């Protein structure tokens, strides 16, 4: 059923889908279902203590409008060609990133849930060196139909066998390193960290925040270059993704420094366009419970 619905709606133009987003999806999510509005309001209020209550509500609505847009953009991309995608997602500094990849065999892109992160696998179509293969890390979805659909969407962008399940990541990366293949890896690194899984703590958006250490631990252990993927929106449905180097030698940094640099770049990225971040995620759950 999920695939049928996506297949039918993906036949519409993106302009038509945006109308559907404005007239039906946003009101449904925001006013009727009220999807995670309490968490979103709390996250925004704590992250921007200088904003008035009215400004927080305005930002909240901006976010939910974008959230609805991301859903229809994902549906549209089900049938979109690579040529069509080039009109909506632009990658900057790709040549430099390829140089880092040749230098260290692999480059890990650390990013946040900014813009439309599901379009990141399209980077495969922008490499000048065909030897470089892009991989995505994903968490298996609880709904089997949704899981199959998301895997199919990513495979359409970067190829078969390019999705690495989170629990299989270390084994796959070691195998890739031993094979000598050139690769890039997209790693969304802003998920909630439970108390036992916190690798690094820092003040982030005015809140004491625990970060996971997967990107840093893997890159230090295996010697890969690391960059931050800065995502901004030029206009509705048009994103710019810029690769900003964090380090080509993770082992030369003190423990926690790489994650700290990532946190600072992500924070700046969010402050530029706050509505692009996924505020519905309960990232500070454990911190709130301790208060």
- How far is it, in rounded angstroms, from Cα 71 to Cα 183? 29
pTM: 0.94
Burial 182-217 (b: 16+ CB within 10 A, else e): bbbbbbbbbbbbeeeeebbbbebbeeebbbbbbbbb
- How far is it, in rounded angstroms, from Cα 130 to Cα 178? 19
Contact 284, 46 (CB under 8 A): yes
> What residue ranges in 66-217 does DSSP mark as E strands?
89-92, 106-111, 133-138, 163-165, 183-188, 200-204, 207-211
Helix (H) or strand (E) holding 151: helix 144-158
Q: In sequence order, what DSSP letters do the residues of 213-256 get, joined into one string?
A: -HHHHHHHHHT-EEEEEEEEEEETTEEEEEEEEEES-GGGSPTT
Residue 126: CB atoms within 10 A of its CB come to: 17
**Bridge partners (DSSP) listed for residue 90:** 240
SS3 209: strand
- Kindly give the confidence (pLDDT) of every residue in the chain, 291 residues in length, as a single tens digit, with 9 standing for 90 and above: 667 777 788 899 999 999 999 999 999 999 999 999 999 999 999 999 999 999 999 999 999 999 999 999 999 998 999 999 999 999 999 999 999 999 999 999 999 999 999 999 999 999 999 999 999 888 777 777 667 777 777 777 777 778 888 889 999 999 999 999 999 999 999 999 988 999 999 999 999 999 999 999 999 999 999 999 999 999 999 999 999 999 999 999 999 999 999 999 999 999 999 999 999 999 998 766 655
- How far is it, in rounded angstroms, from Cα 252 to Cα 257? 10
């Amino acid at each position: 059923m999920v695939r049928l619905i996506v297949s039918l709606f993906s036949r519409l133009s993106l302009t038509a889908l945006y109308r559907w987003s404005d007239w039906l999806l946003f009101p449904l999510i925001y006013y009727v279902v009220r999807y995670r509005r309490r968490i979103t309001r709390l996250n925004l209020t704590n992250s921007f203590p200088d904003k008035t209550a009215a400004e927080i509500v305005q930002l909240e609505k901006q976010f939910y409008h974008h959230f609805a847009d991301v859903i229809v953009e994902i549906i549209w991309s089900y049938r979109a060609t690579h040529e069509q995608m080039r009109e909506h997602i632009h990658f900057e500094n790709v040549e430099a990133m390829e140089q880092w990849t040749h230098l260290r065999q692999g480059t890990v892109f650390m990013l946040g849930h900014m813009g439309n992160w599901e379009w990141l696998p399209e980077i495969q179509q922008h490499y000048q060196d065909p030897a470089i293969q892009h991989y995505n890390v994903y968490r298996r979805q609880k709904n089997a139909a949704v899981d199959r659909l998301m895997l199919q969407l990513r495979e359409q962008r970067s190829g078969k066998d390019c999705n690495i399940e989170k629990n299989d990541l270390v084994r796959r990366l070691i195998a890739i390193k031993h094979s000598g293949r050139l690769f890039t890896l997209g790693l969304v690194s802003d998920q909630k960290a439970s108390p036992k899984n916190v690798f690094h703590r820092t003040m982030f958006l005015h809140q004491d925040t625990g970060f996971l250490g997967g990107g840093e631990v893997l890159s230090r252990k295996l010697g890969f270059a690391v960059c931050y993927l800065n995502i901004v929106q030029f206009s509705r449905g048009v994103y710019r993704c810029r690769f900003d180097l964090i380090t080509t030698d993770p082992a030369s940094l003190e423990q926690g420094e790489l994650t700290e640099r990532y946190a600072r770049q992500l924070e700046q990225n969010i402050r530029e366009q706050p509505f692009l971040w996924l505020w519905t995620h309960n990232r500070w759950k454990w911190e709130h419970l301790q208060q």
